[in-house]
Amino acid sequence: MILEKQRGGLSTGRSISKTLFRKPRNALEGGERAAAEAVAPNVPDRLMEACPGCKAMIFADQLAQNAGICPNCGLHHRIGPARRIALIADPGSYHAVNEDFTEPNHLGFPGYDEKLRRARAASGAAEGVATGFARVEGCPCALYVMDPAFMMGSMGTAVGEKITRLFEAATARRLPVVGFTVSGGARMQEGILSLMQMAKTSGAVRRHGDAGLLYIAVLTDPTTGGVTASFAMEADITLAEPGALVAFAGPRVIEQTTHQKLPEGFQRAEFLLEHGFVDLIVDRRSQRATIARLLRLHGEEAWT
Nearest Cα neighbor of 49 from 16, 7, 79 is: 16
Q: Considering beta carbons, is residue 123 or 224 the nearer one to other proteins?
A: 224
Three-state secondary structure call for residue 1: coil
Q: Considering the rule CB under 8 A, would residue 116 count as an interface residue with other proteins?
A: no
Report the residue from 267, 269, 282, 284 that binds other proteins according to the rule CB under 8 A: 267
Cα–Cα distance between 2 and 258 in angstroms, integer?
A: 16
Cα–Cα distance between 229 and 217 in angstroms, integer?
A: 13
Cβ–Cβ under 8 Å, residues 229 and 250: no
Length of the chain, in residues: 304
Q: Considering the rule CB under 8 A, would residue 248 count as an interface residue with other proteins?
A: yes
Q: Considering the rule CB under 8 A, would residue 265 count as an interface residue with other proteins?
A: no
Binding track over 128-167 against other proteins, x by CB under 8 A: ----------------------------xxx-xx--x---
Q: Considering the rule CB under 5 A, would residue 12 count as an interface residue with Zn ion?
A: no
CB of 191 to other proteins, least distance (A): 5
CB of 56 to Zn ion, least distance (A): 5
| Residue 210 interface partner, choices Zn ion, other proteins, none, CB cut-off 5-8 Å depending on type | other proteins
Find the Cα–Cα–Cα–Cα dihedral 92, 149, 131, 162, rounded to 10°.
-160
Sheet of 177-183, strand order: 95-96, 129-136, 139-146, 177-183, 215-223, 237-240, 280-281
**Which residues make up the interface to other proteins (CB under 8 A)?**
1-2, 98, 100-104, 106-107, 109-111, 156-158, 160-161, 164, 186, 188, 190-200, 202-207, 209-210, 225-226, 228-234, 246-249, 253-254, 257-258, 260, 262-263, 266-267, 275-277
